[in-house]
Amino acid sequence: MEITETKDVWLVISNTDLNEGRGSDFVASICESKATAMRIGEHGYVQGSKCPIRKGIGVKIKNTWYYPSEIEPMTKDDKNKQRLIDAKEAAFEKAKLAGLSDDEIAMLGM
């Protein structure tokens, strides 16, 4: 995949704790203009305050615009839950391959 074009984008920042702001900031919206970002972020931050607005770079790949973002790493608890999810999905696939219908699998609690 090749980046065919780049452009400035405006990021509306919010927080996971809108009461006290003790949470983590995250990108709530990616906007084409600063005016749009300001409108969207008017009352969306901690205690209804204006969201911080940051400038970012959008990249175009095969006629679609993307914004590079961080991928949230898994916590130890997330890893344990993911192992359980993966095991359930593998069991579901085995049941399907064995010829069970979705209704029959649902009766098993999968």
Q: pLDDT digits over 74-100, tens only?
A: 899 999 999 999 999 999 999 999 999
- Residue 71 covered by a domain: no
Comparing C-alpha atoms, which of 59, 60, 43, 61 is closest to residue 51?
A: 43
Average pLDDT over residues 97-105: 92
Total domains in the fold of the chain: 2
Let me know whether 84 and 42 are in one domain: no
Alpha-carbon distance of 12 to 39, in angstroms, equals: 10
CB 99 within 8 A of CB 44: no
Let me know whether 80 and 54 are in one domain: no
Let me know whether 60 and 83 are in one domain: no
Neighbours of 82 (CB within 10 A): 11
Let me know whether 12 and 31 are in one domain: yes
- Residue 19 covered by a domain: yes
Answer yes or no: is pLDDT of 1 > 70. Answer: yes
Let me know whether 61 and 91 are in one domain: no
β-pairing, 3-15 with 64-66? unpaired
E strands, the chain, in order: 3-15, 25-31, 53-61, 64-66
Let me know whether 55 and 101 are in one domain: no
pLDDT at 19: 96
pLDDT at 69: 82
Average pLDDT over residues 53-59: 96
Residue 42 belongs to domain spanning? 3-66
